[in-house]
Amino acid sequence: MNIICSRNELLSAITGVGRAVSSKSPIPAMEGILFQPEENAVKLTAYDLEIGIITYCPAEVFDTGDIVINARLLGEILRKSEGDTVSIETEPNLMVKINSGLTKYSFMGLPASDFPEFPVPDTDSTFTIPGPDVQELISKTIYAVSVSDQKPVHTGSKFIFEDGTLTVVSVDGHRLAVARKHGLEYGEDKSFIIPAKTLQEVSRLIGDKTENVRIGTAKRYAVFNLVGYTVVTRLLEGDFLDYKKSVPVAYKTSAVVDTSELADSVERAALIISDRFKSPIKMKFDDGTISISCNTSTSSVYDEISCSLEGDPIDIGFNYRYILDALRNSGVQKVIMRLNEPTMPMTIVPTEGDDFLFLVLPVRLRSNE
């Protein structure tokens, strides 16, 4: 291989695919990026057996030949070098020579044959959706993905295509997040579960781009085609929670509240909570106000905000982080909070439409809280 390309463009490309590089693997090639020169570009591939990312970097190609180059070392070289361009040349014995400005490096690469076989799934159906919509669906739900391996299927988000609507669902045992986009065109109704890591990378790669994202699925894989990148991921398998059965169909208390005001109040109350002094926050809904309080063994706090309240008064406790996550990810100025009993979950929905639904399980309050 013998190529010359822009140092900044190559650095951007390896940064883009680098999240699919294994940080530590018994297979050294999985800690590298596969370089495959083509006409006027070099194809870069990273794959950790769970997620794979492909992109292309414009380049002058003088000689072909595939090779695997350690991603961490190459990235540091490009960041520290000062030249505008970089040349990469490999020898038959896999020696890699990199020149940028006056700086020259030589080190050993790895044979392309050591790189794990990259899946090329034959997607059975595809659909397109604007990139910002994909980001919104991810941001509204990914915070509720489980980080525990007790039920691996819940470490991802479930995508459900039904009646022209895409619904994304995440659950971790303490909360549930549902987000929807209507009016989509696609083939058959279907559902599949995408790992959270993949969704985070897809959102990051979309960035501020507004172009459509094409999503295709195969039996065990999903493929995201973005501007400049292709992301291939394994699907998670297992019995995902039937979220519809978890959402209360009726409620006794309803409060319309300013999202930022309530989030700010919860944050103020949470200032006295720490790893040493843990305690739930108490929310009292009564007479057009929500009173927010918290008591630890050494401190106490009280705050209140106004709301538009209908129904029965109620005192209920929550883990403050779960409330904040839901409020901060709603993306709207006002939300409706619906409650029943102190031991039943609270739902948070928009004042108009059904773009999202958040469910938070309460924490039992002690008599002194």
Q: Do 129 and 226 share a domain, yes or no? A: yes
Residue 369 above 70 pLDDT?
no
Q: What are phi and psi of 62, to 5 degrees?
A: -100, -25
pLDDT score recorded for residue 367: 64
Is residue 167 in some structural domain?
yes
- CA-wise closest residue to 146 among 114, 164, 169: 169
Cα 31 off chain centre by = 22
Q: What angle do CA 326, 331, 336 make, to 5 degrees?
A: 60
Q: What is the CATH classification number for the domain harbouring 221? A: 3.10.150.10
Question: Positive or negative CA dihedral for 183, 188, 191, 194?
Answer: negative
Question: What is the average per-residue pLDDT within 14-42?
Answer: 94
Q: Do 232 and 282 share a domain, yes or no? A: no
pTM exceeds cut of 0.85:
yes
Residues 6+ positions from 62 with CB-CB distance below 8 Å = 2, 3, 4
Domain interval for residue 306: 248-360
Measured CA to CA, the distance from residue 109 to residue 104 in angstroms comes to 15
Q: What is the pLDDT of residues 31-88, one digit of tens each?
A: 999 999 999 999 999 999 999 999 999 999 999 999 999 999 999 999 999 999 999 9
Neighbouring CB atoms inside 10 A of 273's CB total 19
Measured CA to CA, the distance from residue 231 to residue 215 in angstroms comes to 10
* Dihedral class, residue 14 (left if φ above 0, else alpha if ψ from -120 to 50, else beta): alpha
Q: What is the pLDDT of residues 299-354, one digit of tens each?
A: 999 999 999 999 999 999 999 999 999 999 999 999 999 999 999 999 999 999 99
| Last-in-domain residue among 211, 243, 275 | 243
Is residue 365 in some structural domain?
no
Measured CA to CA, the distance from residue 53 to residue 201 in angstroms comes to 9
What tokens does 106 get? 């030589």
Q: Do 32 and 138 share a domain, yes or no? A: no
Question: What is the average per-residue pLDDT within 361-365?
Answer: 91
Comparing 236 with 124, the larger pLDDT belongs to 236
Averaged pLDDT of the chain: 93
Q: What angle do CA 230, 233, 239 make, to 5 degrees?
A: 150
pLDDT score recorded for residue 189: 82
Measured CA to CA, the distance from residue 324 to residue 148 in angstroms comes to 20
pLDDT score recorded for residue 127: 84
Which residue type, as a one-letter code, is found at position 263? A
Neighbouring CB atoms inside 10 A of 102's CB total 8
Q: Provide the total of helices (H) and of strands (E) in the chain, helices listed first.
A: 7, 27
Measured CA to CA, the distance from residue 134 to residue 184 in angstroms comes to 12
* Dihedral class, residue 172 (left if φ above 0, else alpha if ψ from -120 to 50, else beta): alpha
Q: What is the pLDDT of residues 147-190, one digit of tens each?
A: 988 899 999 999 998 888 999 999 998 999 999 999 887 767 88
Using the 8-state DSSP alphabet, how is residue 276 labeled? Answer: S
pLDDT score recorded for residue 285: 97
**To which residue do tokens 């720490």 refer?**
274
Q: Do 301 and 324 share a domain, yes or no? A: yes
Structural domain total, the chain: 3
Residues 6+ positions from 207 with CB-CB distance below 8 Å = none
Q: Do 232 and 265 share a domain, yes or no? A: no
Q: pLDDT class for 279, splitting at 50, 70, 90? A: confident
- CA-wise closest residue to 88 among 58, 61, 56: 61
Measured CA to CA, the distance from residue 117 to residue 104 in angstroms comes to 32
Which residue type, as a one-letter code, is found at position 160? I
Q: Do 239 and 257 share a domain, yes or no? A: no
Neighbouring CB atoms inside 10 A of 234's CB total 18
Residue 22 above 80 pLDDT?
yes
| Neighbour-count burial of 139, counting CB atoms closer than 10 A to its CB (0-12 exposed, 13-18 middle, 19+ buried) | middle
Distances (CA, A) of 153 to 145, 156, 176, 224, 256: 10, 6, 14, 20, 34
Measured CA to CA, the distance from residue 55 to residue 38 in angstroms comes to 12
| Last-in-domain residue among 243, 269, 299 | 243
Measured CA to CA, the distance from residue 198 to residue 215 in angstroms comes to 13
Is residue 366 in some structural domain?
no
Is residue 369 in some structural domain?
no
| Last-in-domain residue among 66, 91, 114 | 114
Is residue 169 in some structural domain?
yes
Is residue 332 in some structural domain?
yes
